[in-house]
Amino acid sequence: MSGLITRRALVTGAALGAGALLSGCDRLGRDQRFQSLLKTGERGNYALQRLLQDRTALAEEFRPDQRSPVFRMNGVRMPGGEDYARHLAADFADWRVPVVGAVAHPQAYSMAQLRAMPARTQITRHDCVEGWSAIGKWTGVPLKLLLDRAGVSAQARFIVLHCADPQSNGTMYYESIDLIDAVHPQTILAWALNDALLQPGNGAPLRLRVERQLGYKQAKYVQRIEVVPILAGIYGGHGGYWEDTAGYEWYAGF
C-alpha cells in the first residue's frame, strides 16, 4: 500500500521535475531523469511485491457515477496501415485473436465468439505515467478463461499481448504480464467501455485490462496472445514496447 503512494508520488514528482506538462508517454519516456527513476528499484519492486503483497488482491472498483465523463485516449488512437482500416470498416467481423505458444490447444477466436463468452464488468481507475487518471467501466472476457481452454504448458510463465498498431521504430506495440496477473479475476480482454463497443481510440476491438498495473500495460488492439516460458527473444527482451525502447519498468503493478 505504501509502495503505491511512494511510487505514484515519485512518478508525479518526476513529471513535475522534468518541467512543463509533457504531452505523451513518448516525451516523458525519453527523459533521462525519468528513465533512471524508472530503472531504480525495478527489481526491488517486483521482488518485494511478490514477497510482501497478495497479488491476487482486487483493485478498487468504483460506482457508475464516479466514472470520468470522457475516458481519455492516449498513445496510439488509430493504428496506421491498411489492415486495421479494413477491419474497422468491416466492424471487425474478420478479426481473429489466436492464443498460441506454450499451450496444448492453440486456438483462434472471432470477436463474435469472444463477446458471447462469459464476461466480467468492472469500473476501475486507469493511471498513466504521464500523470493523468480516468475511471471507466470495462466489459470483457477473463483472460483466465482463454488460458484454461488453451491449456498452458508447465513451462509457461508469461503472456505476451501482440498489438495491431505499428510504432515509429517499425515494431508493433506489445506488452507482457506474468501468469499471476494473467489469471487474476480482474484481468480481462475488454471489448466494451462504458456499455458501448470499444472505439478505435481506446483499443477496438479488444484491449487488455490488468487492473493493478499502470496504463502502458493495458495493451490496446490485441491481435495475438502468446504464452511463453521466457521473455528473451520477444523483440528487445524486456517484455514490452516501452520497456524495450524507453526503459520503462516491466513490473508496473501496485
Ligand X SMILES: Nc1nc2c(c(=O)[nH]1)N[C@H]1C(S)=C(S)[C@@H](COP(=O)(O)O)O[C@H]1N2
Residue with cell 498495473: 213
Binds 163: which of ligand X, Mo ion, none (CB < 5-8 Å by kind): ligand X
Binds 38: which of ligand X, Mo ion, none (CB < 5-8 Å by kind): none
Is the Cβ of residue 101 or residue 200 nearer to Mo ion in the bound state?
A: 200
SS3 for 167-189 is CCCCCEEEEEEEHHHHCCCCCEE
Binds 84: which of ligand X, Mo ion, none (CB < 5-8 Å by kind): none
Is the Cβ of residue 79 or residue 215 nearer to Mo ion in the bound state?
A: 215
Is the Cβ of residue 128 or residue 246 nearer to Mo ion in the bound state?
A: 128
Is the Cβ of residue 10 or residue 172 nearer to ligand X in the bound state?
A: 172
Provide, rounded to whole angstroms, the least separation between the CB of residue 205 and ligand X. Answer: 12
Provide, rounded to whole angstroms, the least separation between the CB of residue 175 and ligand X. Answer: 7
Contact between 181 and 253 under an 8 Å Cβ cutoff? The reply is yes
Residue with cell 478479426: 95
Residue 245 DSSP SS3: helix
- Contact call for residue 128 and Mo ion (CB under 5 A): yes
Task: Count the site residues for Mo ion by CB under 5 A.
Answer: 4
Beta-strand pair 133-142/188-193: antiparallel
In the set 22, 25, 97, 182, which binds Mo ion (CB under 5 A)? 25
- For residue 96, the cross-strand partners are 110
Q: Under the phi-then-psi rule, with left for phi > 0, alpha for psi from -120 to 50, and beta for the rest, what region is 221?
A: left
Residues in touch with ligand X (CB under 6 A): 25, 72-76, 128, 163, 165, 173, 201-203, 215-216, 218-221
What does the DSSP assignment read for 8-42? HHHHHHHHHHT-S---SHHHHHT-HHHHHHHHTTH
CA distance 137 to 152: 29
Is the Cβ of residue 152 or residue 161 nearer to ligand X in the bound state?
A: 161
Binds 197: which of Mo ion, ligand X, none (CB < 5-8 Å by kind): none
Provide, rounded to whole angstroms, the least separation between the CB of residue 160 and ligand X. Answer: 13
CA distance 129 to 249: 11
* Interacting residues with Mo ion between 207 and 226 (CB under 5 A): 215-216
Is the Cβ of residue 199 or residue 229 nearer to ligand X in the bound state?
A: 199
- Contact call for residue 71 and Mo ion (CB under 5 A): no
Provide, rounded to whole angstroms, the least separation between the CB of residue 17 and ligand X. Answer: 19
Contact between 102 and 155 under an 8 Å Cβ cutoff? The reply is yes
DSSP annotation of 217 reads: G
